[in-house]
Amino acid sequence: MEDEQLNIFDSKGKFTGTASRADAHKKGLWHETFHCWFISNEEDRVFIHFQLRSPYKKDFASMLDITAAGHLNSDEDVKDGVREIKEELGISLTLNDLIYTGTVPDEIVIDDFNDRELCHVFIYKIPENTEPDYVFMDDEVADIVKIELSAFEKLWSEKTYSINIDSKSINRNSFVPHENRYIDTVIKSIKQFALQYF
């Protein structure tokens, strides 16, 4: 996996060549990823479905994250990213099932881990009165945690310190540390592009 070749870009999004995934993270090189956020409407309450990362993951094990996401290899384009949904959640979708909200930069820089992503962000609106039949890969995803949009927004903006989900206390440290601008953009996109469809 660390040897996968990724397309590399400068800070303005201009293609500059390719590099291994390991080098991209070590050197902080900009590369493309596919992000898909699942949302549901339950009794007029909107929920975001967060992936609970497997405890066996190399990075950010057992933390809450995007419903399904992954890197785009150098020989792939955005439509190929849909495979991540099948690989991580066991659900078959096409690009036509998703709402594209745009490309959003996101940087996670911790010690010698420098992840700089150009994220192609999508939203999947789960049909009402249905529950996705999630099937998890043992080394990828441990579970799905549903959090009401309004509660998550208050938590991320630090208007609330913690929330209780299934008798467990969740705070900002429970989530992969994405940039505020990335999460703020995702929340805005859910409100703008998705809620109108409910």
- pLDDT bin (cut points 50, 70, 90) of residue 194 is low
Q: How many residues does the chain have?
A: 198
Number of domains in the chain: 1
pTM: 0.95
Average pLDDT of the chain? Answer: 93
Q: By percentage, how much of the chain surpasses pLDDT 90? A: 81
What domain range is 89 assigned to?
5-197
CATH number at residue 43: 3.90.79.10
9-67: pLDDT as tens digits? 998 889 999 999 999 999 999 999 999 999 999 988 999 999 999 999 988 999 999 99
70-119: per-residue pLDDT in tens?
999 999 999 999 999 999 999 999 999 999 999 999 999 998 889 999 99
The per-residue pLDDT for 3 is 78
Residues 166-182: tens digit of each pLDDT: 889 999 999 999 999 99
Per the CB < 8 A criterion, the answer to whether 34 and 40 are in contact is: no
